[in-house]
Structure 1
Amino acid sequence: MSPAVFIEALQQELQLTQYGQYPPELYDPIRYIMSLGGKRMRPLMTLMSAYLFTDDWKKAVRPALAVEVFHNFTLMHDDIMDQAPLRRGQPTVHEKWNPNIAILSGDVMLVRAYELMLNVDADQLKPAMARFTQTAAEVCEGQQMDMNFETRWDVTEAEYIDMIRLKTSVLLGYALELGGLIGKADAESVAHLYEGGVNIGLGFQLKDDLLDVYGDPAKFGKQVGGDIIANKKTFLLIEALEQASGSVKEELTDWLNRSEFDKAEKVKAVTTIYDQLGIRQITEARINSYFAKGLKNFDQIKADAARKDFLIQFTQQLIERES
């Protein structure tokens, strides 16, 4: 089995899926954001986790698409809150149309995600829907925490980890859990799929924080240093504020408090402080720890060894990506 088989199945279903036609202002934005691509990591993980337990993995395609539609719904609304002009290199929905259209189209996406979830077999539908609903609420909780952090300078490392767990990681965990439920896996394996996804998701988000400072712009796909320029409370900044003392603390605080500055100069100065404090090494160690936990979770799944290795190898390929 090749990942290309799962990707092709998803692409075919994406092309066939109808969200609605009239009024076009409501449905065109949905087709637009869903056409912008992305890694499709979450639905792929759903299909791969279903394949661990059943040859009939294609019955997971439409529920997997539900996860992807929900994910893009959150992106559409997040872009409004962040006033982001671009998504995957293209104008965001609220820029291309307007914020009200983006809000309403996002609402319909959430409805359609639930509709797609109804394709889960009847005997697994109730637990799948219950967990989907819980996960959806947790993603909103994480987004609210992230917004709360914008006006706080006392955010702790534990709070930050909890925020990214809710905002980004629980949906990856659910995507894997969903595949296990559809494949009628044992409860222990379903739990390992979920925990593995959450741990891998935490590693991905911390890696994203790290690449924002130390990544290759050609590979990273967005401006390096953007988090530093925006004073975004990332793992690196929170760790630096905890580790710094004396003149280093004063210099870091000064850069954070400046309202006018040269962007390149600020990025260079704060990165130098991170280097002095060993923040890169601390972050890399935490990233590797979460990835190791996630892969250990996957190794404990009770499934065919070859299929399990396939999931693990695919995850390792994702881990090694620089974008």
Structure 2
Amino acid sequence: MTKISHANALLGKLETFIQQLPEHIGTGAEPKELYEPITYILSLGGKRIRPLLSLMAYGLYKNDPETILSQSAAIEVFHNFTLMHDDIMDNAPLRRGTATVHEKWNANIAILSGDVMLVKAYELLLDTEPNLLKEIIRLFNKTAAEVCEGQQFDMNFEAYETVSEADYINMIRLKTAVLLGLSLQMGALLAGAEKSDAQKLYDFGMNIGVGFQLKDDLLDVFADQAKFGKQVGGDIIANKKTFLLIKALELAKGPTAEKLNYWLNQTEFDKEEKVKAVKEVYDALGIKALTEAKMQFYFQAGFDQYDLIHFKNESYFQELKQITQDLIHREK
């Protein structure tokens, strides 16, 4: 197995940089209700996978990825801004095992604090060399808009009686995968990589990102609560049209379909009972295996793109692949 040495060193530097960000964003400034939630959400940790991917992609071509900590942190700040707002829309009580910002404060504060985070994300990009800044901002803007498009599709789906598998995959591509793609693409471009290689890294991130979201869908239903950090079965409780539910609605017949539709149409119910019942439907239809097969399809497509890139640093290449493979097998 590849030794994860570059990533560990970079994660340490990245975490130190991110934990110092509140000093620059405005911690201690007034009104404190605006800035304290930013410190709070950034202190919750997380995998930091997006900025780490950016740093590792840079390392494929140059040996000083710590020089783009600011740009990589911009991606993490933007990501946390989207989480803060998404949690409001999803009425989610937990984030990384602790109270969401709107639960700890309120929705209006979470909206405004998130807005400040978005502004500060752009400020962090300003450390980019002038000859690259316009392209980086353009790609960042494109991705930011796509993430919003994906979130709107996700909300639209709540009102749809049925959602196709293709529409769902497109939604998670926009909501989740494009930011992973940008992270890798941006790191490569900042290191002076050829645009064709930066595009392959983007495609790698896109496919891996779709696979990761399918993994999240699966974990939401089948994960160990103690390891997951979020409410297991939350998607079932909310009738969220995940890949699992879409396939179940497509495949269920007779009594199985009746059982599934019964629980989808209940407005008052015991949460644990509903989760248990719908999981039984998923088990009967083999939904877990179908989801795992779809995940593997996208993961393989991503690695097929990754293996085509040209790079200068073999150790970064192998380590980035290992990091991705480790994430594929995660349990939370």
Fold agreement, TM-score > 0.5? yes
User: Aligned residue for 1:316?
Assistant: 325
**Paired amino acid for 2:326:** Q
Superposed displacement of residue 301, structure 1: 1.2
Q: Does 1:306 align with 2:312?
A: no
Q: Does 1:230 align with 2:234?
A: no
TM-align CA RMSD: 1.5
Verify the 8 A CA contact 1:298 1:308 in the aligned structure 2.
Answer: no
Verify the 8 A CA contact 1:240 1:277 in the aligned structure 2.
Answer: yes
Q: Does 1:106 align with 2:114?
A: yes
Using the size of structure 2 for normalisation, the TM-score is 0.93
Q: Does 1:16 align with 2:20?
A: yes
Closer/same/farther in 2, CA of residues 260 and 102 from structure 1, 3 Å limit: closer
Superposed displacement of residue 262, structure 1: 3.1
Q: How does 1:1-323 map to 2 (within 5 A)?
A: 1-17=5-21, 18-20=24-26, 21-304=29-312, 305-323=314-332
Verify the 8 A CA contact 1:244 1:277 in the aligned structure 2.
Answer: yes
**Paired amino acid for 2:265:** N
- 1:75 alignment partner, SS class: helix
Q: Which moved more, 1:150-159 or 1:96-105?
A: 96-105
Instruction: Report the number of matched residues.
Output: 323
Any unmatched runs of 5+ in structure 2?
none
- For residues 321 and 123 of structure 1, the distance between their equivalents in structure 2, rounded to whole angstroms, comes to 39
Show structure 1 runs of 4+ deviating over 3 A.
none
Q: Which moved more, 1:73-82 or 1:36-45?
A: 73-82
Superposed displacement of residue 14, structure 1: 1.6
Superposed displacement of residue 239, structure 1: 0.6
Superposed displacement of residue 132, structure 1: 0.1
- For residues 221 and 312 of structure 1, the distance between their equivalents in structure 2, rounded to whole angstroms, comes to 25
Q: Deviations over 1:220-260 (max 9, x none)?
A: 23332222222111101001111122232222111211223
- 2:25 alignment partner, SS class: coil
Verify the 8 A CA contact 1:196 1:294 in the aligned structure 2.
Answer: yes
Superposed displacement of residue 5, structure 1: 0.6
Verify the 8 A CA contact 2:71 2:127 in the aligned structure 1.
Answer: yes
Superposed displacement of residue 120, structure 1: 1.5
- For residues 58 and 134 of structure 2, the distance between their equivalents in structure 1, rounded to whole angstroms, comes to 17
- For residues 69 and 141 of structure 1, the distance between their equivalents in structure 2, rounded to whole angstroms, comes to 19
Any unmatched runs of 5+ in structure 1?
none
- 1:222 alignment partner, SS class: coil
- For residues 215 and 190 of structure 2, the distance between their equivalents in structure 1, rounded to whole angstroms, comes to 30
